[in-house]
Chain A
Amino acid sequence: MKPAPFAYLRPETEDEALDLLREHGDEARILAGGQSLVPLMSMRRVSPAAVVDITRLPGLAEVRDGQVAGAEVGGAEAGGAEVGGAEVGGTEVAGTEVGALVTQYGLEQRAGIDDALRECLPYTGHYATRHRGTVGGSIAYGEPRGELPVVLLALAGRARVRSRDAEREIAADELYVGPYATTLRADELLVSTRWPAAGLGRGSAFTELALRQGDFTLACAACAVTVRDGAIVAARVAVGAVADRPLLVGPAAEALVADGPRAAAAATRATIPGYGDHHASARYRRHLAGELVADAAARAIARAGGAPMTEGGADG
């Protein structure tokens, strides 16, 4: 169980890194925390000709609070739900910009981050792997069972990416297109992720059932809601480990706005495909995802200051 040979490239600057990515294209893999990549290489399931070690690039390990370009929860884009008059997406909202090399543990220790984000981090790995595993890596890897992508989706976060010629932002909704497949191009480097924060009238929550915490997720869910005058006016719901990619569940968000957490659970079950393996059937995963959505939704609503529409969640 030893990796195949590769060329080790360690750029000192972001520009140098982008040159290398352009040069090597699909032949290269970016090494950040390495907590997913290295085992795949040791098992020879992935054998890149070149490895671009970005861990020493300056400026990518910072967390900044402030205004981030992000959608108001419940923006008009697919997957969110709103009731009349809510703001449309793409506005500047308060939030956190997380450099690609910020570690899961590092972010976990940071005060003032969004609730769902804080709640999901302990599930992203083990104590030692979270010290090296990066937030950027988790987002870019596109693991269908990953926690961070689910939260990014629920919060309508964004990924900031750079290539040699351009810089762009990708909305979470547009990021995941298949198992371990994202819309990042081979010459692009994810430089940071942007996480809208909970504010007045907004709340979020994350929940997961793992068969072995840090290793094996049966299903996970994140919800973000906006509450005004005690009523939910906008919501986003995302689930993980139930399909070939992290999923935003539009009908669940609509049901949540209209009829509350149990309705969101039912809509989740009706919408998601679910997949089965030797640990759990697709039917169970669909059911579980619904329970987790109901739980996350109820807690998000409570945090937003909404009426407790908790007919019982997963922890009930």
Chain B
Amino acid sequence: MTDQAVATRGWIGRALPRFEDEALLRGRGRFIDDLEPVPGAHHAAIVRSPHAHARIRHLDVSAAEAADGVTGVLTGADVQAMSRPFAAAAPSPVPYYAAAVDTVRHVGEPVAVVVARDRYLAEDAAARVRVDYDPLAPVLDARAAVHDSDALVSERSFHYGDPEAAFAHADVIVGGRFDFPAWTGLPLEGYGVVADWDPGAGTLTAWCNFQGPFTLHGVAAAALGLPGTRLRVITPEHSGGSFGIKSGVFVYVALIGLASRKLGVPVRWTEDRLEHLAASQTSTGRCAEIEGAFAADGELLGVRIDAIDDVGAYLRAPEPASMYRMHGALTGAYRVRNLALRARVVLTNRCPSALNRGFGGPQHYLPLEGMMALGARRLRIDPLRLAELNLVRRFPYETPSGGLYASGDFAGCLREARELSGYEARREERRRARRAGRLYGIGVACVVEPSISNMGYVTLVEEEASRGNALPKSGNAEGATVTINPAGGIGVRVSTTPQGQGHGTVVAQVVADALGVDPSQVAVRADADTSFSPWTVASGNYSSRFSGVGVGAALRATEQVAGKLRAIAGHVLGADADEIELRDGVAHLRGSGDGAETTVSLRRLAGMAHWNPEGLPEGLEPGLAATAYYAAPELAPPVDDRISASTENGFVVDIAVVEVDRATGRLAVIDYVSVHDAGRLLNPLLAEGQVIGGFAHGFGAVTREAHAHGADGELLTDTLKDYLCPTPADLPAVRTAHRETPSPLTPLGAKGLGEGTTMSVPAAIHNAVMDALHRDAPIALPLTPARLWELIDA
């Protein structure tokens, strides 16, 4: 199928700056809070819990209802009466409604929604809502929560190979506790919803900056008791970042939708930053214990992991997926066959977790790569050498837990990283620095970066036996529509809901090659409308799926249209369709000159398809449009608890060189090298943007970004003056290189690459700091100056 495209390609692979930029640079972005999609929307302010855990003794909204400009108030009791709890990927001991009913379980949990003429008046009235709370003891310690049956959501154990034997025969066993606190990708734009309930039709229309996965559309619809067709979700043209976080907007589609339904007016809510920090969504906190069994020569024989995921106050779909997202790649880059995993998921009194860049990856590689670093130290083998000894070398490779690494050149990446970093010189420099008493360290991380998640991986949370009762789930599919209008204008509609990743530009490149036109002639719409867009349950922007399935669907639809163009051109030129080549906006008869009798313009072909159905070849439908779907291959439901959890698996090798200042504990990154193999790069400029952007997220998480709570569960990181994102002066100049081992599984050979550095950076920096401080045990994150100095001083 793709051969035609390959024959005429030329735009794919170019570092083309984006078509999306111009509107944004002119301040003409169209973000949710910029839109007035319905006239006369009223404004909501949400009354939220100041407590991490409390019983609501009494709620009095009468003063708020009587306040100036107020339309009305929606309470938790209303929510309970008007909706059902949200479903998640596992049963939960605590039902999850869009607002608290009688108990609040995290700071910022909605208690009531006050709707008024404008936001200022809504906030005035919200301040007049009286809530009497009986504070309860908060649960903040995930390790303690596993003993509480009301907190334990799930517990499963997995065994692959013979881990017991591996540990029994090991020469060296190393390990430790690696905890990854919850943090957030913190999109610069918060959530926004405009909800409009139509009582006659029984339909809710919600404009919101949702990012998918579209499974969550179904979750919101079910909570509202609506068939999917009666919940119309429309995303704006622009969204101010997400990094997974905006998947959680579905909760507010329900909440604001209920307010609109109760009060009979369209309602707008724009989340402010305090609401966002307290209550939008965070990454999943993880407490992991890991052990590695090594032979004296460095061979990794077995791995044991005991992981506890803290999903916060409620199980928010698609949780507890974070635990299983990495399941196919649990053994990372290494050949080890013996693996045991104990997987537990608990509720605590924190903000609910769900998607966040890297989803499960940073939390997995911190312990796995930390274990490798500890192993290297104990074995007195250089860590890069130890990794090299254990790397997967033959592809395709099937991991013990069922993952498929279809292609790759792990050893090549590692070699390139070694050269790029000047590894030997760095080691020499370390020797000199140490002799001078400086705290200088080198850290390595080798990371397999899964992309295009298998929708079925979440079902691993169920026991093998009970899984059979439900509809089998697998795969990851996407849709796209390509149309050519009567004047020859090319339009594409995709449902990949980007928030700045440049999907429009890449789709234009792909379509341009397939149709033989300039990409500037391709108008791509990435704003989604569940009533009109071609979407699947897997649609959306997550698990770095765009370059595989998003592109796949667009390509397939384009090929259908291209086939039709060729058929019409062949008819006109008296040739077979397969003798026609599309290039430079013209259909050419292959192997002939450029004369009038051997070419016909695309514009003319479009005109014929629309204006003259009679003149079309026999059996050809009129019009020029195609909607096509593309499903990633090799993604079956789990069998024997083994699953290919992702279609593709890219590879990243990072080498970090750091120094810690003895006097202040301050961490300086002296050099950072990151070598990637994400298959074929469709647009290297955008690829580099993802790598550097992902680096900043990983760097923030390991050095400073973590949500913090006080003893009573109060949120300490409640403003941007306390939740500290890195600044440009903090971020080192990362040196990158890309290798391109094409994927045999995606249409253009690309693998996802939006999350790799977010997974690798925490591990590499943490390992470098362990090395700098001569530590034999993990260091708690984030690696703040205070924490490092306490270790130096101890």
Chain A positions within 8 Å of B, measured between CB atoms, are 1-5, 43-44, 209, 211-213, 215-216, 218, 277-281, 283-285, 287-288, 291, 312-314, 316
Contacts and interface: CB of A to CB of B under 8 A. Distances in A.
B685 interface: no
Contacts of B786: 218, 279-281, 284-285, 288
Contacts of A5: 124
18 contacts: A1-B123, A1-B273, A4-B127, A5-B124, A44-B127, A211-B784, A215-B720, A215-B721, A216-B721, A279-B786, A280-B785, A281-B786, A284-B665, A284-B790, A287-B789, A288-B789, A291-B664, A312-B663
A316 B721 contact: no
A147 to B, nearest CB: 15
Given A43-B274, A216-B721, A287-B793, A2 B120 contact: yes
B578 interface: no
A209 B664 contact: yes
A213 B729 contact: yes
A215 B716 contact: no
A209 B785 contact: yes
Contacts of B704: 211-212
Interface in B204-251: none
A255 to B, nearest CB: 18
Contact of B717 (A278, A280, A316): A278
A3 B123 CA distance: 9
A237 to B, nearest CB: 18
A4 B124 contact: yes
A215 B789 contact: no
A215 B724 contact: yes
B429 interface: no
B649 to A, nearest CB: 35
Contacts of B127: 4, 44
A284 to B, nearest CB: 4
Contacts of B729: 213
Pairs A-B, 4 closest by C-beta atoms: A280-B786, A278-B708, A1-B272, A284-B786
B466 interface: no
B119 interface: yes
A279 B790 CA distance: 12
Nearest to B721: A215
A316 B664 CA distance: 10
Contacts of A4: 124, 127
A107 B727 CA distance: 24
Contact of A218 (B717, B726, B785, B790): B785
A216 B724 contact: yes
Interface in B681-718: 704, 708, 716-717
Given A279-B786, A281-B790, A284-B786, A209 B666 contact: yes
Contact of B716 (A212, A278, A284): A278
Nearest to A42: B272
A212 B724 contact: yes
B488 to A, nearest CB: 47
A303 to B, nearest CB: 21
B718 to A, nearest CB: 9
Most buried by B among A279, A280, A283, A316: A279
A280 B784 contact: yes
Nearest to A47: B127
A309 B127 CA distance: 58
B720 A284 contact: no
B725 A212 contact: yes
B663 A291 contact: yes
